[in-house]
Amino acid sequence: MSSALMSSALMSSALMSSAMWSNPVQWAFWLLGGLALLGALGTVTRRSPVQAALFLVLTLVATGGLFLVLHASFLAAMQVLVYAGAVMVLFLFVVMSVSHTEGETLGLAQGTVGKLIGLAAVGVLGHQLLRVCLTVGDGTSVGAALPGGFGDVRSLGRWIFSRYLLPFEAISVLLLVAIVAAVAITRRPPRGRAEGEG
């Protein structure tokens, strides 16, 4: 318990440095980061899948705003258009189409394992956040460390189709398999009709 108090005190002292809050980019970063965290917490704590999906939209839009703060305008536009727009509409359509009963809950073992994994993830992320706050928390700009052309379409395309070609193709194959599986699942006849005919 004392380590949690110490880490929160260190983080609050890093957050309260006056040089950090004089920069509007820092304000935007912390505001959008906080919105992304609140949306993520809402996503994993809501029982209703529709509410969880709407909180996920908040997280994705805030992440797009973080891309804007990092001067990656193309990534911000794609984040909002593709993920927060098209993918979330599809996700909400699937969630609302699948029958879900209110009484359905996880078993005790599944709930306990999920809570342990969540607690471990919060610990790792909290440690990383604290580390970043203590090392970069003085408000200095790190823009000089960015390579030339960072965030524009040409450099992004060059990186994707040269250095990251194999992961890009692996993701496209994964998406193709997901589409084929979705079509196969939706074309399967309902259980009652298939059993009655057989």
Reported as a single tens digit per residue, the pLDDT across 48-80 is 888 888 999 999 999 999 999 988 888 899 899
CATH number at residue 35: 1.20.120.1200
Of 71-75, 92-96, 116-120, where does mean pLDDT reach its minimum? 92-96
Residue 52 domain-assigned (yes or no): yes
The C-alpha atoms of residue 128 and residue 179 are separated, in whole angstroms, by 35
Q: What is the pTM of this model?
A: 0.59
Determine the average pLDDT of the residues in 105-132: 77
Write out the residue range of the structural domain in which residue 11 sits.
2-99+108-139
Tally of domains within the chain? 1
Average pLDDT, the chain: 77
Confidence of residue 83 (pLDDT cuts 50, 70, 90): confident
Residue 127 domain-assigned (yes or no): yes
Determine the average pLDDT of the residues in 190-194: 61
Determine the average pLDDT of the residues in 175-193: 76
Residue 39 domain-assigned (yes or no): yes
The C-alpha atoms of residue 103 and residue 65 are separated, in whole angstroms, by 38
Q: Which residues contact 51 (CB under 8 A, 6 or more apart)?
A: 42
The C-alpha atoms of residue 184 and residue 52 are separated, in whole angstroms, by 27
Determine the average pLDDT of the residues in 123-149: 70
Q: Which residues contact 175 (CB under 8 A, 6 or more apart)?
A: none
